[in-house]
Amino acid sequence: MTSWIIRSELPSDFHAIAELHALAFAYNFGMGEAALVSALRTRKNFDSELSLVCLKNDRFIGHILFTPQEVQIEGNKVKNLILAPLSVHPEYQKQGVGSALITEGLHRAQQKGYELSTVLGHPHFYSRFGFRSNAWMDEQVKIPLETIFVTETKPFLRERRVESSDLPILYEMWETNYGLSSFSILPGHSLLDWISPSNKVRASSILIGEELAGYIRYREREPNSIIMLLARDREAFVYITSYLKEKLNPLQNTHLLLPICSISPLLKQLDWVYDITQKTYAEYMVFILDGLSRPSLLSYFKDIHNGTKTRGYLIWPTEFDLC
C-alpha cells in the first residue's frame, strides 16, 4: 500500500513544484519545464484541478500538468488536454508515482468532459495507459534557395510586435494555411497565444507596405528554424520567403525549410521547385477518453494508422518555446 497522497496544486506549492522540475529535468542549463509550468498558469483557461502533486510525508515527489488546449480533427473542434510536464523526484522514480499521477489526471479529465489528451512522451511508458503512438506528423517544405526570387521590385517589408488588433486577421490566415490539416492545434484568441515567452524566439507580424500580410515565429539565432509561418496570399508568401532567404548564410544553407502543410493553397499556387518531407514518431501520442466523440476519434486514428487518411501537423503553443 502506497503512503503518498495526490491532490490539486495550491498557490503555496509553486516554489516546491518548480524545484521538483529543476531536479527532475537536468538536460540543460535553463529552467525548462519549471518555466513552462509558470507560463501555462497564466492562461485564461488554466485549471488548477488538473495540476496534480504527489506528496509523501509532506515532501513533493511528483507533479503532472494537463493544460486545456482545443484541437481540430477533420474540421471538428475537440476538447483536448496537453499532458506536459510530468516529473518525479529522482529519489522516487520507478516506484509508480508517475503512473499514479497519470491515472488520476485522466480520471479527472474524464469527469470534466474532455475528449482527448496529447503528449510528446516515451511510447513504452505511455502506451501502458492506452496512449496511441504516431498520432500526428512533422511536415516540412524544402525550397532550394536559388528557386526563391522576386522578379518585380520588392515592397518595403518589416517585422513588428504582434498587436491585439492583428489577431482576427492572423486567425483567418491560420485557417487558410493550416486549417485544412486533418489534425491541428487551434491557436488561441489572446495576445499571449501569438507572442513568445522565450527570449530566443521571435514571433512577429509581417507588414508589407504597412499592411498586415503575415506572421512568422522562429528562433532568432537560427533563422531556418521556423516554427510557424502565415501569409495573406501567394504574393505575400513570395515576399516573406524572399525576406527569410536573405537571413540565411548561403554557405551554410542550401534550402529554406518551412513548416507548411503540403495541402496548403499557398503551395499549390507556386511554380517553384520544392520537396516535402513527412515524418512521424512513436513519441507523438494521444489518449482517447470516453465521450460522444470517442467513436469518431477511434475511427480517425485507426484510419491514419492504416494509412487510409493523412496525419495532421501540430504546432505547439507559444509557451512550449521555453523548452
- pLDDT tens-digit series, residues 205-241: 999 999 999 999 999 999 999 999 999 999 999 999 9
CATH of the domain at 39: 3.40.630.30
216 contact partners, CB below 8 Å, separation of at least 6: 159, 202, 203, 204, 206, 226, 228, 229, 230, 240, 244
Dihedral angle sign, alpha carbons of residues 106, 137, 43, 122? positive
Is the CB of residue 284 less than 8 Å from the CB of residue 135?
yes
Residues 250 and 223 sit within 8 Å (Cβ to Cβ): no
Tell me what the mean pLDDT of segment 168-181 comes to: 95
Residue 217 CB neighbours (<10 A) = 21
Task: Tell me, yes or no, whether 309 and 204 share the same domain.
Answer: no
E-strand ranges in 166-221 read: 183-185, 201-208, 211-219
- Owner of C-alpha cell 548564410: 249
pLDDT (0 to 100) of residue 149: 84
Chain segment 16-33, per-residue pLDDT in tens: 999 999 999 987 766 789
pLDDT attached to residue 2:
66
- 61 & 129 share domain: yes
Q: What is the pLDDT of residue 31?
A: 77
Question: Do 36 and 105 belong to one domain?
Answer: yes
Q: Are residues 257 and 199 in the same domain?
A: yes
Based on the structure, what is the number of domains in the chain? Answer: 2
Residues 118 and 238 in one domain: no
275 and 142 within one domain: yes
Average pLDDT over residues 136-158: 90
Say what the alpha-carbon torsion angle 8, 9, 10, 13 is, to the nearest 10 degrees. Answer: 150
What is residue 217's three-state secondary structure?
Answer: strand
Average pLDDT, the chain: 95
pLDDT on residue 30: 66
- CA neighbor of 101 nearest in space, from 8, 16, 25: 8
Q: Check: pTM over 0.85? Answer yes or no.
A: yes
| Chain centre to alpha carbon of residue 188 | 12
222 shares its domain with 299: no
pLDDT tens-place string over residues 83-129 = 999 999 999 999 999 999 999 999 999 999 999 999 999 999 999 99
CA 215 and chain centroid, separation: 16
Look up cell 531536479; give the residue: 23
Give the domain-ending residue among 245, 260, 279: 279
Q: Are strands 59-68 and 71-73 parallel, antiparallel or unpaired?
A: unpaired
The total of other beta-carbon atoms located within 10 Å of residue 168's CB is: 10
Nearest to 31 by CA among 93, 69, 100, 87: 87
**Which of 27-41, 174-188, 191-205 has the least mean pLDDT?**
27-41
Give mean pLDDT, residues 294-311.
97
CA pair distance 21, 32, nearest whole angstrom = 8
Same-domain check for residues 40 and 97: yes
Q: pLDDT for 28-82, tens place per residue? A: 766 789 999 999 999 999 999 999 999 999 999 999 999 999 999 999 999 999 9
Note the pLDDT of residue 150.
82
Based on the fold, state whether residues 293 and 168 are members of the same structural domain: no
The yes-or-no verdict on residue 152 having pLDDT over 60 is yes
Q: Is 166 helix (H, G, I), strand (E, B) or coil?
A: helix
The answer on 275 and 291 residing in a single domain is: no
User: Which positions ≥6 away from 245 have C-beta within 8 Å?
Assistant: 145, 148, 256
Distance CA 23, CA 8 (A): 20
- 190 and 255 share a domain? yes
5 contacts 97 by C-beta, under 8 angstroms: no
Q: Report the largest interatomic distance among the alpha carbons of the chain, rounded to a whole angstrom.
A: 74
Shared domain for 103 and 25, answered yes or no, is yes
Q: For position 77, what pLDDT does the model report?
A: 97
Range of the domain at 269: 138-279
Q: Is the dihedral of CA 180, 182, 184, 188 positive or negative?
A: positive
pLDDT at position 1 over 50: no
Q: Is the pLDDT of residue 195 over 60?
A: yes
What is d(CA 127, CA 32) in angstroms, rounded to the nearest whole number? 25
Coil, strand or helix: which one is 192? helix
